Amino acid sequence: MKLRVPLISLTAAVVLSLTVSGCGGTAAGGEGGQGSATEVKELRYQGWANQVTLPELAQDLGYFGDVKLDWVGNTISGPQDIQSVATGQTDFGGAFAGAVVKLVQAGAPVKAVINYYGEDDKTFNGFYVKADSPIKTARDFIGKKIAVNTLGAHSDAVINSYLQQNGLSADEIKQVQLVVVPPNDTEEAIRRGQVDAGSLGGVLQDKAVAAGGLRSIFNDYSLFGTFAGGPYVLRDDFIAKNPNTTKTFTTGVARAIEWERNTPREEVIARFTKILKERGRNEDPAALQYWKSVGVPSKGEIKDEDFTRWEKWLQDTGIITDPIDPKKLYTNEFNGLVNP
């Protein structure tokens, strides 16, 4: 697609990750070896503004035991989040599965341990235009601008798949311009006509729909059905030196997924609201009322198809050249709900 650029500082991220790997400090967890008492008990991470992530919920529910979270700031993109893991700035991060493939293929020593987001009939990413927009079909997107939160990630892959499935040629797809817009600003960018369409997901999507004036063209659930969108990753050296902490984290997130799945919606929203207010980040809890479902397939288990689903797009766009070997990308070893 037009204006496609590499993920920001990807090469530098990989080089730095190889440099800092095993250098000690908070991420390295000391020199005690596997299962040592010196394992890291505080995990640095990035959050999302006005949202409660699964690890934040897991900690609030007491699923992490003596393992604590250390919030270092917010992110607006999955690729940036996992690059921070690769460079040792954070201990875990999550992104679209295709972005994980790209980072690993580039040489970053990270591994996926649990899926943290996905799509179902209640929770999905939709692509919206103004109600009076002339855009009605895939072909109408030729020459138009679509807002996405980052290039080379979930929305990029879904848009490309949608256009291909609806018969657009490679040359026609290149005429569709993707514009990077922060998720919290996408709705307003559509309404002001700064872009012709935009990707909206989660509570941001529901809030925008409730306000009226927007029309859905397609969504990723309509293309693929229920599926896992992306996993949390940790560095290989962190996992090797902190296996118990890794298991505590992964299993705690899995338990949080199932808690959301099995808890009445009103109770989930109330818990999110409590967490948001108590953490004191000057956030607005209003959008939380639009939460519908966890979206993540059962227990966060990772499967080969979570990565191979995007292989053609990754190859067609030049993000990768070699076939994907999923087994090198993930492990379910530390998910206590999948591997007791």
**Residues 136-151: pLDDT tens digits?**
999 999 999 999 988 8
Residues 104 and 131 in one domain: no
The answer to whether position 3 is within a domain reads: no
Q: What is the CA radius of gyration of the chain?
A: 20
Of the segments 27-31, 133-137, 307-311, which one has the largest average pLDDT value?
Answer: 133-137
125-130 and 197-201 strand pairing: antiparallel
Q: Is the pLDDT of residue 27 over 90?
A: no
Domain boundary among 165, 191, 224: 224
Q: For position 296, which CATH number holds?
A: 3.40.190.10
Q: Smallest Cα–Cα separation from 82: which of 52, 109, 119, 55?
A: 109
Q: Smallest Cα–Cα separation from 308: which of 295, 294, 327?
A: 327
Residues 22 and 111 in one domain: yes
| Range with lowest mean pLDDT among 55-64, 220-229, 261-270 | 220-229
**Alpha carbons 35 and 240: distance in angstroms, whole number:** 9
> CB of 128 within 8 A of CB of 197?
yes
Residues 38 and 66 in one domain: yes
> Residue 203 corresponds to which amino acid?
V
Q: What is the pTM of this model?
A: 0.81
The pLDDT value recorded for residue 258 is: 97
Residues 288 and 318 in one domain: yes
The pLDDT value recorded for residue 36 is: 55
The pLDDT value recorded for residue 201 is: 87
Report DSSP state, residue 328: G
The answer to whether position 37 is within a domain reads: yes
Local confidence band at 316 (pLDDT 50, 70, 90 cut-offs) = confident
Measured over the CA atoms of residue 111, residue 327, residue 115 and residue 241, the dihedral's sign is: negative
Residues 247 and 299 in one domain: yes
The answer to whether position 155 is within a domain reads: yes
Tokens of 145: 């601008």
CA distances from 137 to 112, 165, 167 (A): 36, 12, 11
Number of domains in the chain: 2
Measured over the CA atoms of residue 285, residue 287, residue 290 and residue 292, the dihedral's sign is: negative
Domain boundary among 224, 246, 272: 224
Residues 111 and 239 in one domain: yes
Domain boundary among 191, 224, 257: 224
Q: Smallest Cα–Cα separation from 101: which of 208, 172, 237, 10?
A: 10
Tokens of 84: 């921070």
Residue pointed to by tokens 């379910």? 332
Residues 143 and 176 in one domain: yes
Residues 186 and 156 in one domain: yes
**For range 278-284, the mean pLDDT:** 91
Percent of residues, the chain, with pLDDT higher than 70: 89
Q: In whole angstroms, what separates CA 6 from the centre of its chain?
A: 18
Residues 255 and 185 in one domain: no
Q: In whole angstroms, what separates CA 194 from the centre of its chain?
A: 25
Residues 250 and 316 in one domain: yes
Range of the domain at 52: 10-120+226-328
The pLDDT value recorded for residue 37 is: 67
